[in-house]
Structure 1
């Protein structure tokens, strides 16, 4: 079964690297959608496009727990106040079937309705952690590392920022604990820590069988 997953994963990689196509909506939990729109989704291009005065506040936080192992996506808006959670892992063989060969890479999902007090407390933690302040321009975010990104629209203004491990700013984050506490997917969080060198993955990367990438924070979103 593991060999089958490896073959399918390699085929997905050969079909094309992660693309910078503009995300306009769609299920980012679908591995094909992620492949074509991940950079744009992460930057919140769709949030930026519709962020004008009078529009609902929107928040998109992504935890990169080493991209090939775990990614957690949290989305929320001021209108519905429903926290949407999607967790993508390295591939769940139990979800493989002849009807859905990409099933192992589809996200596990949950939605949590928030009361006003919980919503306000969460947004306050966003503000306290500097989510709406100046971005760390030039910060590089390797896919095989731990970091948070946040794209948002607050009071008609678009914001994007990021925090990378190891750093004091990453360690001081409060919103991360708040989100993890609300998460009902029952999938354990991959805790940030050292990422050991993996010679097998490095060899696969040289052969083009896996895709590693590095993003960089710009003055407005991600540099691409």
Structure 2
């Protein structure tokens, strides 16, 4: 009983730490991710530097059930490259004595992204209303499928999201455009109904798994 109580406290603490402000650093590192994930997804670091003189920056996150697969896509209007990071559920076979956290580190890739491809992605995001009024109040649970977008576009910061299942999620064209650039596109987990998992529910009740929900808030005046 004492062990389970300590586990519950630990996961509650990690959930709170996930809200710490992200100011840069390796989000692919599992410890850094635990501390700063919510702030990273919401693009708080992008918001801090977004003004009329800032380059356009884009951060798209595809959550295909936290702990199973999360994909991060980032690019800007300066570098002609797309940075991709994929976080899986952790394969214990990847652990080594030199790096015991290797199983939970993000796999990274960088692919060329020319002006035509960048413009196409921006158009697809605009069609999906990524730069318009955000979907205020939309909840993005970790144990679900969703897209989140944090961007500084034409000097204006926006954070919004698309939850599955929804008309907006299905209509968005930017996911297909991003996956087309992704060398690991064959491993992308498509959205689906989440089946009942008895062992997961058991672990959840005893505090052995972490769940959290991100929320799209109203934009701060002046941003």
* TM-score computed with the length of structure 2 as normaliser: 0.90
**1:59-96 deviation digits (Å, cap 9, x = unpaired):** 00000001121000000000113110000001122311
Correspondence for 2:196: 197
Residue 16 of structure 1: SS of its match in structure 2? Answer: helix
Correspondence for 2:184: 185
- List aligned pairs for 1:75-90, cutoff 5 A: 75-90=74-89
Question: Shift in Å at residue 217 of structure 1?
Answer: 1.1
Correspondence for 1:38: 37
Correspondence for 1:16: 14
Q: Provide the rounded CA distance (Å) in 2 between the counterparts of 1:164 and 1:111.
A: 27
Equivalenced residues, count: 213
Correspondence for 2:106: 107
Correspondence 1:135 to 2:134? yes
Residue 18 of structure 2: SS of its match in structure 1? Answer: coil
Structure 2 contact 179–185 (Cα < 8 Å) conserved = no
Single out whichever of 117-126 and 45-54 deviates more from structure 2: 117-126
Correspondence for 1:146: 145
- List aligned pairs for 1:205-216, cutoff 5 A: 205-216=204-215
Correspondence for 1:49: 48
* TM-score computed with the length of structure 1 as normaliser: 0.90
Correspondence for 2:58: 59
- Structure 2: gaps (5+ residues): 1-6
Residue 178 of structure 1: SS of its match in structure 2? Answer: helix
Structure 1 contact 110–185 (Cα < 8 Å) conserved = no
Single out whichever of 52-61 and 120-129 deviates more from structure 2: 120-129
Aligned CA-pair RMSD: 2.0
Q: Provide the rounded CA distance (Å) in 1 between the counterparts of 2:105 and 2:160.
A: 26
**1:160-195 deviation digits (Å, cap 9, x = unpaired):** 110000001000110000000100136611100100
Q: Provide the rounded CA distance (Å) in 1 between the counterparts of 2:80 and 2:20.
A: 28
- Structure 1: gaps (5+ residues): 1-8
